[in-house]
Amino acid sequence: MTANMLRASLFFLGSLSFAPASAFVLFAMIGEVNRKVPDQRRISYLFGYFNKYLLIFREYRRLYPDGRLAVYCYLLSLIALTLFVVSAWQIGLFR
């Protein structure tokens, strides 16, 4: 049982490492978008909600069609979510 808890802890710590990395990439995307839009359309760094995330990704894709930050953000978020689910599975939440 302790081996499962150790693995779960490691997976959980891994997920806690990738989640802030995804947030940093999202902040970089906001900075890139804010650099090219007028002052009235700038996106705030504070508070996050679903429509705001949609706006960030839509504007980033519109302004930077070949930009890779959106892909990095998706990938880091997916890795964090996967590691979190695996850690929950290791402690027996899905059994």
Residue 83: the pLDDT is 94
CA 77 to mean position of chain CA atoms: 4
Quickly count: other Cβ atoms within 10 Å of residue 87's Cβ: 21
What residues in the chain have per-residue pLDDT under 70?
1
Residue 5: the pLDDT is 86
Q: What is the dihedral of CA 29, 34, 37, 41, to 10 degrees?
A: 110
pLDDT, one tens digit per residue, over 29-38 is 999 999 999 9
Residue 1: the pLDDT is 62
pTM equals 0.86
